[in-house]
Amino acid sequence: MEHIKNIASQFAIQGTISQISPLGNGLINDTYKITTAEPAEHDYVLQRINHHIFTDVPLLQHNIEVVTGHIRRQLEKAGTPDIDRRVLTFLPTKEGKTFYYDEEKDEYWRVSVFISNAVTIEKVDETSSYNAGNAFGNFESMLTDVADQLGETIPSFHNMELRRDQLRDVLRRDPVGRAASVAEFVNQIESYMDEMCQGERLLREGKLALRVCHCDTKVNNVMFDTEGNVLCVIDLDTVMPSLFSSDYGDFLRTAANTIAEDSAEFDKIDFRMDIFRAFTRGYLETAGSFLTPLEVSLLPYAAELFPYMQCVRFLWDYVSGDHYWKCQFAEHNLVRAQNQWQLFLKAREHEEEMKEFIGECTR
């Protein structure tokens, strides 16, 4: 713990550190809460940034600085009260950066102000989905004019054409001899490939533009006060320019599935329209101010794209030999791919219903 205290001392923390303890159960970054002795001072969050996933930490922190600074100015302009609880605040080091590099241990660290009397929610229901949609749409709406100032923290993260090319390449190489066993499955996937890659084509044609997206739109990435009111969007590592489909489709891929994404009970899979309606209503209330008519018309495509893309990614990893996702059994990634495939098909069954509801929301 002495090492952690030394790292914390590199930042402009106000007050005397009385305790440092693990915080949360994040899968990517190691997180600690710094408690200060003085009641008038802030507590803080200390994070070790996983630079094996986010390989360009200066770019990562640049994106976060641009985004949080812009949101803060927007809130100030609107006269929003209690701004420090409505946008994350990152502390500078002695050198003025928002991250510290420990050269000896090859570690990157950052510190933000701890938002007190705030909670995150794990349960996905209609209320939390509506609130998440409203929060993520509002987050995007405040950042409509900063996309050109940001870089990609994970290049081509939600690029369907890249995922298509990765799958085709690994099937051609067939490094562990699994390609033949999934040939029929691949044919089914390929029958939709051209349609699912339309986002990148429309971007090249100038009909779509890159927007600032969160790119990890889970319910637990929205922070609430103890009365259940949205405070702010958190976990900003994946904030980057992306197509409009990223935040909308990514949320529904996980939230609208009736079972876990690695369950083999495929007959129990459906696309939850109650979650779709709640999230969409909340999202369009705030994102409707900037989405183009074309983007609105493509929201059902976005809802279908993300389980399809995840199916392709899981199958790519299976044919590769299971190097990306941890597996508990030999065909874990194949089961995951088949699960997402069924979710994709179920979403397509609801396409006309989705279009009708979106039309009701936008009339």
Q: DSSP letter at 149?
A: G
Task: Supply the pLDDT for residue 53.
Answer: 87
Residue 50 phi/psi, 5° resolution?
A: -75, 95
Task: Supply the pLDDT for residue 28.
Answer: 59
Task: Supply the pLDDT for residue 30.
Answer: 86
The CATH H-level (homologous superfamily) assignment of domain 126-362 is Aminoglycoside phosphotransferase (APH), C-terminal lobe (3.90.1200.10)
Each domain of the chain, given as residue ranges in start order, spans: 2-116, 126-362
The CATH code of domain 2-116 reads: 3.30.200.20
Mean pLDDT (10-residue bins), the chain, 363 residues:
89 92 72 88 92 94 98 96 95 95 95 94 95 97 95 95 98 98 98 98 98 96 93 96 96 97 97 98 97 98 98 98 93 98 98 98 93
Task: Supply the pLDDT for residue 25.
Answer: 62
Task: Supply the pLDDT for residue 29.
Answer: 72
User: Which run of H or E residues covers position 97?
Assistant: none
- Give the list of residues 6+ apart from residue 86 with CB closer than 8 angstroms, or none: 71, 75, 80, 231, 232
Check if the beta carbon of residue 192 is closer than 8 Å to that of residue 164.
no
Burial of residue 51 (number of CB atoms within 10 Å: 0-12, 13-18, 19+): middle
Task: Supply the pLDDT for residue 41.
Answer: 78
Of the candidates 248, 232, 255, the one whose C-alpha atom is nearest the C-alpha of residue 281 is: 248
**Angle in degrees, 0-180, between the axes of helices 126-141 and 273-287, rounded to the nearest 10:** 30
